[in-house]
Structure 1
């Protein structure tokens, strides 16, 4: 099967934490050699596209422009702009998320924000969670950047943004609006950015719950690669099969 363009996950697909996945690099190089459009679509909000670009080049030897990296932080700003409830926001997250939102002219507010945005923060404190809880209870619109329960790393599966969001949903009894994969917000933004119809692209990733479900839920073909979150033994129990499954991206012909 040939596709005009590729939407590609990063962690678990192109690298695993700090460890490279060599087949991922070779896959990107094949796309580049054939001038096939692609866009990295990542739920990771801890780094801005320019930082991701630098990391790909310096740590993994993959040279791409920052324009080819679409993060859940960028999709979150698109959602905030469209929702237009106000400009005051309280954010739990790292610099990639906070800086992206602030650069979009949103104002930091801890007591009475219009929005509470929650992403991954590996140094999160109880006080931050308390402030978010109180603000949501007061009526702030609760946004979760992405539902990832875990992050695949060289150490194993670590807590992800979805774990923090679940904690706050429990504390507030309020369901968050999720921006990242597998939701339509980020996928619609990705299709707009790559400039192709959903029928023309395939979503490539290692995580059935996010990457592959983003294809299934949004009527986009999916390619599951078994190098990260979802394992071969999980396949028989998947409720809806991915369009394609490969052990390694070396097995996929572009």
Structure 2
């Protein structure tokens, strides 16, 4: 039985618009009863918001089909079992994920067990100073995802990794990275699918996050040329990153055709 870990931006949608053949690919998965999971490095949205965004792009998604880097970070921290108090730099997706597994989000005056950071479009010097003080006083430093740039409306904006760089530099402490290409989020996705890792295809448009994350977790990998990488830039990206996907397809239904010829 094949299973699928699916990237979102550049793979299933571009902004609010579906990538060509994305709805058809999801229908192909359903018609064949292949289990799948939408896995995103986006830490700002809740699973409900991610599913709503997918529905807006023409894909009838459910919140339980979504795994965000915030959810994975909360699970990782809970499993560490070193305390329930956390200083959170992030938005609603991160804070909801933490509260759902029993964490108490503290303010600036109380020493936490963790400092966890995701994208925060209201990041400030005060938040930086408190995070650094807490980490230097012993709090574990967790980063939802390492993306330095965030594509938005045809432009790029600083991402969670850019904020983390300032905290890491000042605290002199490297964070535990949860999101792709870290195997941490991939292993949670694999466990949720309930299949052996070598039966799961990681599908995405980014060699450095989606494909590298799949390779790190021992999964099979498929790059679709509908987002970051095109047919014309593929060789350049492969040379620069040193990452190669098992399959490279122009779009998702080409992937479906290729996988239909492969045994489960």
TM-score, length of structure 1 as denominator length: 0.92
Contact 2:204 2:222 in 1 (8 A): yes
Q: 1:49-64 counterparts in 2 under 5 A?
A: 49-57=47-55, 59-64=56-61
Say if 1:96 and 1:236 are closer, same or farther in 2 by CA, change over 3 A. Answer: closer
- 1:236 Cα shift? 4.2
Contact 1:38 1:194 in 2 (8 A): yes
Of the candidates 229, 250, 254, which is equivalent to residue 251 of structure 1?
A: 254
Contact 1:204 1:222 in 2 (8 A): yes
Counterpart residue number, 1:156: 155
In structure 2, what is the Cα distance between the partners aligned to 1:10 and 1:182? 15
Of the candidates 78, 93, 96, which is equivalent to residue 96 of structure 1?
A: 93
Q: What SS class does the counterpart of residue 22 from structure 1 fall into?
A: coil
Counterpart residue number, 2:3: 5
Contact 2:37 2:66 in 1 (8 A): yes
In structure 2, what is the Cα distance between the partners aligned to 1:151 and 1:99? 21
In structure 1, what is the Cα distance between the partners aligned to 2:199 and 2:254? 21
Contact 1:19 1:154 in 2 (8 A): no
Of the candidates 81, 86, 90, which is equivalent to residue 84 of structure 1?
A: 81
Counterpart residue number, 2:142: 143
Q: 1:78-227 counterparts in 2 under 5 A?
A: 78-109=75-106, 110-111=108-109, 112-227=111-226
- Asked if residue 69 in structure 1 is aligned to residue 66 in structure 2, the reply is yes
In structure 2, what is the Cα distance between the partners aligned to 1:230 and 1:117? 31
Structure 2 unpaired stretches of 5+: 260-264
Of the candidates 245, 249, 262, which is equivalent to residue 242 of structure 1?
A: 245
Say if 1:155 and 1:37 are closer, same or farther in 2 by CA, change over 3 A. Answer: same
- 1:119 Cα shift? 0.5
- 1:68 Cα shift? 0.9
Of the candidates 13, 19, 25, which is equivalent to residue 21 of structure 1?
A: 19
Contact 1:18 1:153 in 2 (8 A): no
TM-score, length of structure 2 as denominator length: 0.89
Task: Report how many aligned residue pairs link the two structures.
Answer: 251
Contact 1:44 1:71 in 2 (8 A): yes
Counterpart residue number, 1:31: 29
- 1:70 Cα shift? 1.0
Deviation per residue, 1:18-50 (Å, 9 max, x gap): 343132222212212222111111111111111
- 1:134 Cα shift? 1.6
